[in-house]
Amino acid sequence: MTDAELLDFLQGRYPFGDLSGARLRPLPSSYTHRFWRLRTRERDYVIKEYFPGLENNPLYPTLPQEEATALTLLERHRLAPRLECFLDSPAGSPLVIYGYERGSEAEIDVRDAAQLLGRFAALELAPEEVRMVPSGYHQVLAHADAILEKIPDSRRAANLKRLRPQDGAVEVSAVPQCTLIHRSLCLGTVQMTAAGPTLIDWQYAGLGDPVEDIACFLSPGLLTLYGLKPLVLYAEDLFLKHYPDRAIVDRFLAERAAYHWRLAAYCLFRQETLTHENAPASRAYARALEEEVDLLLRLRGK
């Protein structure tokens, strides 16, 4: 779909009305969808057209309906932009469109980000239409094992398994109540608006443990994939100090190695399976893998 075709498609539809004076600008595509920003006098809109066939990813299945559900729920709490439209494009691909009033373009401070994530976790939302995801130390390790089983001939996988956290490092216990989590939170998924910072990119949402959102926010690999620099240790410590729920922080500190090892396993899986299909993406995942491995080694040394 070209930019002109998209504008023609949106022209006159609620909530856009007359778009004769609007500016549509393509944004860099991600691995899962194409982006545009539509700027009108009153509001900015972000339009996401999802690529097909990404529902079976072993860690991050791309589910537009999850994003629409999360945006609808969280806009009420001023934690997400407003879902303006969820519909199919003329080509039949899902479109998620959200809007907001423009605000500061400054990057959020990690202390404020910790408060934002804590406010989200405290809502304890559990919408029935959102899927459950593996949660807790032992489920996450088993999930990572299953991801690596998808590349059985990988020599790198054999090496990565040497960094696998031990099952006995954390006592087996009941998984905490599962609530709505984002699953790829980082500085790149915080959108500043006139109403304050909000959370975007909910296509991977699930019902799980908020520990996963902390692990993602502090993940050097995810930040690398978003084109951002990993947080320095001082910033990481500030984030954890200002996260309001100390029980979740304590659980994160005990279990974080499992979440980072799963991210490393996923990055390796993507690196190897994308080598011929999308070489630049494969190299990006290789760099993210290096960051996660370095973090795992640092955690081992503590």
pLDDT of residue 8: 85
β-bridge partners, 23: 39
CATH assignment of 110-300?
A: 3.90.1200.10
In words, the CATH class of domain 3-100 is: alpha beta
pTM: 0.94
CA 243, 245, 248, 249 dihedral sign is positive
Closest CA to 147 of 23, 244, 245, 270: 270
> What pLDDT is recorded for position 302?
62
**pLDDT per position in the chain (302 positions), as tens?**
788 888 888 887 778 777 777 888 988 778 888 999 998 888 899 999 998 888 889 999 999 999 999 999 999 999 999 999 999 988 899 999 999 998 777 788 999 999 999 999 999 999 999 999 999 999 999 999 999 999 999 999 999 999 999 999 898 877 788 999 999 999 989 999 988 999 999 999 999 999 999 999 999 999 999 999 999 999 999 999 999 999 999 999 999 999 999 999 999 999 999 999 899 999 999 999 999 999 999 998 76
List every span in the chain annotated with CATH 3.30.200.20. 3-100
Are β-strands 33-39 and 23-27 bridged in parallel, bridged antiparallel, or unpaired? antiparallel
* CA distances (Å), origin 70, targets 128, 133, 178, 249, 275: 11, 15, 15, 24, 33
131-156 burial string, b = 16+ CB within 10 Å, else e?
eebbbbbbbbbebbeebbeebeebee
- Dihedral sign for Cα atoms in the order 132, 136, 138, 144: positive
Of 80, 78, 67, which Cα lies nearest the Cα of 130?
Answer: 67
